[in-house]
């Protein structure tokens, strides 16, 4: 058979519109110098597919020649077969080495590996084109396979040799294989050495394990070519055999020349396995943290480890400390965040990182340094009230007990016979009895032996109900004053007291002090109380406001002395406890006279020492701590500001003077106010400040600031002193259910901001009545002008208005000198004021016009 290559075969004849059934072959050997004709029938079907049309050009075939009428035709055509070894294959393309015909390129959807023995055909259209293998398939190795391998391995072409070299030597005994590898590595070109070393490290590690000579050879190649993406571990193993100084110098030198990925690999390996280099060289440490977040994190871990290790010598610790202190400010924000994540617990109070530490780490360090101090302050600020849960109760449950209890039903009817016909009175009496029940429950929770003597009016057990409502421990008498929310305020303006209570007398009894207990209840109509109609609005729970008693009056009067411009008018409260035996004042120590229904403001009430058990215990612990500390052992005011925990309420309640350092940083007016509170005269001396003490102290200090016209002063800043957190709920941890103090500070702020407009600074005298009314005048002969008040007017068919607070400068003043309620349906100042009557008349006229009602003449 002879060999040729297809010139063309088959294809489509456009003129005849049919497929060609013949083709021509260029003869590659012999004396015939012409194209050889071939008919389709002489070519196997599968080969026809390969040769059809343009695809067949250049494909080598074998065939027999047949002469016919002096013409030659090709018969018995076959694909010429070649054998070779795959030397590379990747991504569907590869290369085959043959024994005599060089290299063929090929494409295949099948997978091949270097070293595969294959058979194939050849397509080669011209000398300028690459030889291309066709119909490639794997075959079993034969003697020619080994010959091809030997040719490749011993080829002077590095590209050919490197492809099969390692597969070849892997079949040899280890010693012989290693020797051949070393020999070849010394003669291969640079690129072949790089490829070969990478492949040895990845796939033929056993040679490295067995031969230190081979390891050194590869390391030398890497060192010369700055290529350590794979061989970094070998490089470090190599430099680790050198003296430290030389090893570190080589590492630093290579880090300057390596690409980023290689640097990343090398730095990680150094940190993980060669810490000795890092310990000895600051320059190397500096290099290692430059190449990425992970490496920087590892570097931070390294520093952290040695700074925390108690066995680290002081010289190294000092060196690392200085290094970190200098490095952090210069690094990026991302790296600084990693530093502080790792080094946060190394920040010690006034330690080596103090000046550059973030605020949150300083805060932790300060609290650790003054641990006992801050722990007590935090305990105090976070302390709850053991009995607060008993101060209020769901109104539905509370009033249901009254409505379903036979004696209670009879009692409220005894109080007010008209409850069956008067729904307003019914609701009022149920609320009053519910208030008594709530106080009984609260006192029981406090641990008292409680006797309901109000019910004695029905049970006839005694006549003590004429004196009080509740008896504690068989001797303490309580009179429950129930108030209800007003129309235009969240507080109240009067107490709802059954008529009989207003006429109680104690003339025939031994003088006894009766404590007043205030309760604030929701203003509900009968249909809601009895559940006849569902509510579509939120209703506050009835709550105990606290206790008021005679000694409170003396303490309040002591807060204000004769030199103050402020006079407190407590005369009406003192009448509660008048020693007169006249029927007008009724009994001596019992608040049961005609004025017993007078308004008692919520700031007058307090809950007593037992309610503050937890706070008092903490205060005593704090006093014990402070007694053993000098000023230098207390946090500075700067420390306090950083930590953000307010210790002032605890200092005030403990009656402890502020450290001098704190006083140096606080405005003078704040120091003055704090000292007011610390030095309030109470009995016993360790008694904690009450809501009333604080309220009067605020007012007194405000008026003094008004006189001084202090530009630094702001009433709103009282809040920073009195409240331990931003919630502003309970000043000095005094339980303040109606947020009285917070509201009062806001009122004082409004007065302060309007002091020029209202000429408030020109007032020389002030009078404060217990109801919460502040009046002033510029001269002794002037009339009193109202500065702060609440509305005492009534809304038709709704009850007391109670708008609060009315503030001079914010609300209009009437010609009578009192403030006018701003509510459109009220506008009250005082009952008999002609201006008020005129406003009232006008409101009625306007309302009639609005509602198209006939005019009414007055």
pLDDT of res. 592 = 37
pLDDT on residue 124: 92
Segment 470-498 mean pLDDT: 73
pLDDT, greater one: 680 or 653: 653
Q: 186-190, 304-308, 342-346, 399-403: which range is least confident on average?
A: 186-190
813 burial class (0-12, 13-18, 19+ CB within 10 angstroms)?
A: middle
Which segment, 23-32, 193-202, 470-479, 575-584, is predicted with the most confidence on average? 470-479
Structural domain includes residue 171:
yes
Q: Note the Cα 331 to chain centre separation in Å.
A: 26
Residue 564 has pLDDT above 80, yes or no: no
User: Per-residue confidence at 50, pLDDT binned at 50, 70, 90?
Assistant: very high
Judgement on whether residues 336 and 265 belong to the same structural domain of the protein? yes
Domain holding 328, by residue range, is 145-355
pLDDT digits (tens, 9 = 90+) for 365-413: 999 999 999 999 999 999 999 999 999 999 999 999 999 999 999 999 9
pLDDT in tens, 298-308: 777 878 888 88
The residue out of 753, 773, 793 marking a domain boundary is: 753
- In the chain, the number of structural domains is 4
Confidence of residue 577 (pLDDT cuts 50, 70, 90): low
Q: Which pLDDT does position 40 carry in this prediction?
A: 93
Residues 536 and 590 placed together within one structural domain of the fold: yes
Task: Mention every residue, 6+ apart, whose C-beta is less than 8 A from residue 788.
Answer: 747, 751, 772, 773, 774, 805, 806, 807, 808
Q: At 61, which CATH number?
A: 2.40.50.140
Q: Which of 198-207, 580-589, 821-830 has the lowest mean pLDDT?
A: 580-589
Same domain, 666 and 731: yes
- Answer yes or no: do 579 and 637 share one domain: no
- Does some domain include residue 109? no
Both structure tokens of 722: 């009195």
- Looking at the structure, tell me whether residues 346 and 419 fall in a common domain: no
Q: 115 or 653: whose pLDDT is higher?
A: 653
Residues with Cβ < 8 Å from 810, sequence gap 6 or more?
750, 754
Let me know whether 151 and 263 are in one domain. yes
Question: Lowest mean pLDDT: which of 23-32, 74-83, 138-147, 253-262?
Answer: 253-262
What local confidence, expressed as pLDDT, does residue 127 receive? 84
For the chain, the distance separating the N- and C-terminal CA atoms, rounded to the nearest angstrom, is 141
pLDDT band at 561 (very low <50, low <70, confident <90, very high): low
For the stretch 743-791, pLDDT in tens is 889 889 988 988 888 888 888 888 887 667 888 888 888 888 888 887 8
Question: 541 lies in a domain?
Answer: yes
Instruction: Give the number of other Cβ atoms within 10 Å of residue 186's Cβ.
Output: 11
Least confident of 324-328, 368-372, 485-489, 804-808: 485-489
Q: What is the pLDDT of residues 685-714, one digit of tens each?
A: 668 889 988 998 998 899 889 888 888 999
Q: What is the mean pLDDT of residues 118-140?
A: 92
Structural domain ending residue among the three candidates 545, 574, 606? 606
Higher pLDDT, 730 or 221: 730
Give per-residue pLDDT as tens, 415-447.
Answer: 999 888 899 899 999 999 999 999 999 999 999
Residue at 845 is within a domain: no
pLDDT for the residue numbered 256: 79
- Whether the per-residue pLDDT at 844 is higher than 90: the answer is no
Residues 178 and 250 in one domain: yes
Q: Say how far apart CA 186 and CA 558 lie, in whole Å.
A: 105
Is 305 within the bounds of a domain? yes
| Same domain? 600 vs 662 | no
pLDDT averaged over the chain?
83
What is the rounded average pLDDT of the residues 326-344?
82
Lowest model confidence (mean pLDDT) among 347-361, 447-461, 762-776: 762-776
Measure the CA–CA gap between 392 and 151, rounded to whole angstroms: 101
pLDDT confidence of residue 302: 79
| Token duo for residue 208 | 């490295």
Q: What is the pLDDT of residue 324?
A: 84
Residue 334 inside a domain? The answer is: yes
256 & 337 share domain: yes
On whether residue 651 sits in a domain, the answer given is yes
Same domain, 401 and 539: yes
Q: Are residues 249 and 299 in the same domain?
A: yes
What's the pLDDT score for residue 579? Answer: 43
Q: Among 693, 727, 753, which residue terminates a domain? A: 753
Higher-scoring residue by pLDDT: 828, 581? 828
Percent with pLDDT over 70 in the chain? 85
Task: Count other Cβ atoms within 10 Å, centred on residue 154.
Answer: 12
| Residues 505 and 394 occupy one common structural domain | yes
| Highest mean pLDDT pick, 264-278, 492-506, 554-568, 591-605 | 264-278
pLDDT tens for 498-555 read: 444 544 544 434 456 789 999 999 888 899 999 888 888 888 899 999 998 877 777 7
- The three-state DSSP-derived secondary structure of 127-180 is CCCCCEEEEEEECCCCHHHHHHHHHHHCCCCHHHHHHHHHHHHCCCCHHHHHHH
pLDDT at residue 263 greater than cutoff 80: no
**Whole-number pLDDT of residue 228:** 53
Q: Would 183 be classed as within a structural domain?
A: yes
At 486, the pLDDT band (50, 70, 90 cuts) reads low
């Amino acid at each position: 058979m002879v060999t040729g290559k297809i010139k063309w075969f088959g294809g489509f004849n456009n003129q005849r519109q049919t497929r060609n059934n013949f083709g021509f072959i260029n003869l590659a050997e012999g004396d015939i110098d012409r194209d050889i004709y071939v008919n389709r029938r002489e070519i196997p079907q599968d080969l026809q597919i390969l040769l059809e049309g343009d695809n067949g050009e250049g494909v080598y075939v074998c065939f027999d020649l047949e002469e016919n009428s002096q013409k030659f035709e090709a018969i018995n055509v076959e694909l010429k077969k070649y054998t070779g070894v795959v030397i590379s294959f990747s991504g569907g393309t590869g290369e085959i080495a043959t024994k005599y015909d060089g290299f063929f390129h090929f494409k295949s959807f099948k997978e091949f590996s270097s070293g595969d023995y294959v058979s194939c055909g050849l397509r080669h259209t011209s000398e300028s084109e690459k030889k291309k293998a066709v119909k490639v398939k794997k075959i079993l190795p034969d003697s020619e396979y080994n010959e091809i391998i030997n040719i490749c391995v011993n080829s002077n072409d590095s590209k050919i040799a490197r492809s099969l070299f390692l597969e070849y030597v892997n079949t040899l005994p280890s010693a012989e294989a290693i020797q051949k590898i070393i020999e070849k590595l010394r003669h291969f070109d640079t690129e072949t050495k790089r490829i070969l070393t990478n492949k040895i490290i990845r796939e033929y590690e056993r040679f490295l394990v067995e031969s230190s000579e081979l390891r050194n050879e590869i390391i030398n190649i890497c060192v010369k070519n700055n290529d350590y993406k794979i061989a970094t571990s070998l490089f470090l193993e190599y430099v680790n055999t050198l003296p430290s100084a030389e090893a570190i110098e080589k590492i630093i030198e290579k880090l300057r020349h390596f690409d980023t990925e290689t640097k990343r690999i090398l730095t990680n390996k150094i940190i993980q396995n060669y810490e000795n280099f890092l310990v000895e060289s600051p320059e190397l440490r500096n290099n290692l943290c430059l190449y990425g977040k992970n490496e920087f994190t590892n570097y931070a871990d390294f520093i952290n480890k040695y700074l925390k290790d108690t066995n680290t010598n002081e010289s190294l610790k000092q060196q690392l400390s200085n290094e970190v202190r200098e490095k952090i400010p210069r690094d990026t924000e991302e790296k600084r965040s990693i530093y502080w994540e790792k080094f946060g617990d190394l920040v010690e109070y006034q330690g080596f990182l103090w000046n550059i530490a973030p605020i949150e780490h300083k805060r932790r360090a300060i609290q650790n340094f003054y641990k006992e101090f801050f722990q007590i302050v935090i305990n105090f600020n976070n302390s709850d009230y053991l009995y607060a849960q008993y101060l209020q109760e769901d109104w539905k449950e509370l009033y249901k007990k009254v409505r379903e209890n036979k004696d209670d039903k009879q009692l409220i009817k005894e109080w007010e016979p008209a409850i069956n016909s008067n729904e307003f009175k019914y609701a009022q009496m149920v609320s009053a009895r519910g208030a008594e029940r709530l106080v009984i429950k609260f006192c029981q929770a406090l641990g008292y032996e409680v006797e309901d003597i109000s019910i004695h009016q029905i049970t006839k057990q005694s006549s003590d109900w004429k004196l009080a409502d509740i008896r504690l421990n068989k001797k303490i008498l309580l009179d429950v004053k129930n108030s209800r929310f007003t129309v235009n305020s969240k507080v109240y303006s009067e107490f709802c007291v059954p008529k009989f209570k207003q006429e109680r007398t104690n003339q025939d009894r031994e003088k006894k002090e009766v404590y007043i207990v205030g309760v604030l209840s929701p203003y509900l109509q009968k249909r809601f109380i009895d559940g006849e109609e569902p509510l579509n609005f939120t209703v506050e729970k009835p709550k105990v406001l606290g206790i008021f008693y005679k000694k409170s009056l003396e303490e309040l009067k002591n807060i204000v002395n004769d030199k103050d411009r402020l006079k407190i008018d407590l005369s009406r409260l003192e009448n509660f406890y008048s020693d007169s035996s006249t029927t007008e004042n009724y009994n001596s120590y019992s608040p049961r006279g005609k004025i017993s229904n007078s308004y008692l403001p919520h700031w007058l009430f307090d809950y007593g020492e037992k309610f503050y058990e937890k706070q008092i215990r903490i205060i005593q612990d704090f006093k014990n701590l402070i007694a053993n500390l000098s000023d230098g052992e207390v946090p500075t005011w700067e420390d306090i500001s950083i930590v953000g925990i307010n210790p002032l309420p605890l200092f005030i309640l403990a009656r402890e003077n502020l450290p001098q350092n704190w006083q140096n940083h606080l405005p003078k007016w704040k120091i003055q106010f704090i000292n007011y509170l610390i030095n309030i005269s109470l009995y016993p001396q360790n008694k904690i400040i009450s809501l009333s003490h604080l309220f009067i102290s605020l007012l007194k200090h405000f008026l003094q600031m008004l006189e001084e016209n202090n530009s630094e002063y702001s009433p709103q800043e009282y809040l920073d002193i009195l409240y331990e957190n931003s919630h502003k709920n309970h000043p000095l941890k005094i339980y303040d259910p109606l947020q009285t103090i917070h509201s009062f500070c806001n009122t004082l702020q409004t007065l302060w901001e309007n002091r020029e407009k209202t000429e408030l600074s020109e007032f020389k005298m002030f009078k404060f009545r217990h109801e919460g009314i502040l009046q002033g005048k510029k001269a002794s002969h002037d009339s009193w002008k109202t500065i702060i008040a609440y509305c005492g007017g009534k809304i038709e068919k709704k009850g007391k208005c109670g708008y609060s607070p009315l503030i001079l400068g914010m609300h209009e003043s009437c010609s009578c000198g009192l403030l006018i309620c701003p509510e459109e349906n009220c506008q009250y100042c005082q009952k008999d004021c002609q201006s008020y009557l005129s406003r009232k008349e006008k409101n009625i006229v306007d309302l009639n016009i609005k509602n198209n009602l006939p005019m009414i003449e007055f």
